[in-house]
Amino acid sequence: MKISAILIDDERKALAILKNKLERFCPNVKIIAVTQSPKEGVELIKKLKPQLVFLDVAMPELSGFDLLAEIENPDFEIIFATAFDNYAIEAIKHCAIGYLVKPVDNDDLIETVKKAIFNIEEKSALEKNRLLIENLGATTFQNKKIVIPSNEGLEFIKISDILFFEGDNGYTRIHTVNRKAILSSHSIGYFNKLIENQSFYQIHKSYLINFSYIEKYLNEGYVILQDNHKLPVSRNRRQDFLNNIKS
């Protein structure tokens, strides 16, 4: 499958390196436009309607996020490029959107493009891009949403609605408020990194809980969550867990 792509980065050298790497390592990507101007990038996207856009996060005229917000229906797959911007990476990961850390590693580029092509075939870009814009406007972590790949497709779940994550033989069940659990093929370790924040705590190798829903802690080493979920706290994590509750 040959896909059309536009490259947008205000740094001439970074743009040239990315173009060269794509031509060398990703023959299924057809570069249809390259620009250092994010404003011109907006017009190119509207005119050429690419399937994939490589987009720098930090640019002077418009950031990559600002550029995305300028597009009425951003139905193209995105691969963001960033230089260790923790906020940017967090926002992008929550929405299951591709990203590359500069300087771009060849293997990372090949793997990220491969995932982008799969996503293009799944036609899920519009929902993920809209979610990213929505999350960037959210004032608190708990008001953001995450994308959960499941057997049926993609689930868009508000973080504040998650009771706890339950590891299950390499899979994870996500238990939410007032709905059935969602089974994801990602491990609980993946979600622990994804929602790494003081609002959640991994009490056990199999359980990652939302502090907001704790109703009781039992001295024998259990927490009771909303809806009467009784979960064990690992012995070696109990003191740290109690310290986190108190703080």
What CATH code is carried by the domain that includes residue 106? 3.40.50.2300
Q: What is the pLDDT of residue 198?
A: 67
98 and 194 housed in the same domain: no
Q: Which of 240, 204, 197 is nearest to 222 (CA)?
A: 204
Q: Which of 2-6, 61-65, 89-93 has the highest mean pLDDT?
A: 2-6
Q: Which of 84, 101, 136 is the last residue of a domain?
A: 136
Residue type, 236: N
Residues 131 and 9 reside in one and the same domain: yes
Q: Is the pLDDT of residue 87 over 80?
A: no
Kindly state whether residues 27 and 112 are assigned to the same domain.
Answer: yes
Q: Are residues 120 and 230 in the same domain?
A: no
Please state, for a pLDDT cut of 90, what percent of the chain lies above it.
Answer: 77
> Is the domain of 129 the same as that of 155?
no
Backbone torsions φ then ψ of 3, nearest 5 degrees:
-120, 145
Range of the domain at 115: 3-136
| Residue 245: predicted pLDDT | 83
88, 181: one domain: no
Q: Helix (H, G, I), strand (E, B), or coil: what is residue 76?
A: coil
Structure token pair of residue 106: 């060849």
Average pLDDT of span 105-123: 94
Residues 43 and 111 both lie in one domain: yes
41-50 tens-digit pLDDT: 999 999 999 9
Banded model confidence at residue 154, pLDDT cuts 50, 70, 90: confident
**pLDDT number for residue 45:** 98
Q: Are 52 and 115 in contact (CB under 8 A)?
A: no
Amino acid 149: pLDDT: 79
What pLDDT score does 247 carry?
72
Give the mean model confidence (pLDDT) for residues 97-108.
94
The answer on 64 and 7 residing in a single domain is yes
- How much is the pLDDT for 11? 94
Same domain, 129 and 207: no
- Specify burial of residue 21 (Cβ count, 10 A radius: 0-12, 13-18, 19+): middle
Of 140-149, 151-160, 204-213, highest mean pLDDT:
204-213
Q: Are residues 28 and 119 in the same domain?
A: yes
Torsion angle, alpha carbons of 203, 207, 208, 209, to 10: -80
Residue 122 pLDDT level (bands cut at 50, 70, 90) = confident
Q: What is the mean pLDDT of residues 72-91?
A: 88
Same domain flag for 130 and 151: no
Which of 36 and 141 is assigned the larger pLDDT? 36
Nearest of 205, 222, 197, 211 to residue 162 by alpha carbon: 211
Mean pLDDT throughout 142-153? 84
Rounded to an integer, what distance in angstroms lies between the CA atom of residue 59 and that of residue 233?
45
Say how many domains are in the chain: 2
Q: Which of 117, 136, 155 is the last residue of a domain?
A: 136
Beta strands 162-168 and 153-158, pairing class: unpaired
What pLDDT sits at residue 126?
92
Give the alpha-carbon dihedral of 122, 50, 77, 118, to 10 degrees. 40
Task: Say which residues have a Cβ less than 8 Å from residue 115's Cβ, sequence separation at least 6.
Answer: 98
How many angstroms separate the CA atoms of 8 and 10, rounded? 7
Q: How confident is the model at residue 223 (pLDDT cuts 50, 70, 90)?
A: very high
Strand 98-101's sheet: what is its strand order? Answer: 29-35, 3-8, 52-56, 77-82, 98-101
Point out the domain boundary residue: 136, 155, 184: 136
Tell me how far apart the alpha carbons of residues 105 and 91 are, in angstroms, rounded to a whole number: 21
* One domain, residues 153 and 111: no
Query: What's the average model confidence in pLDDT over 159-184?
Result: 92
**pLDDT for the residue 151:** 73
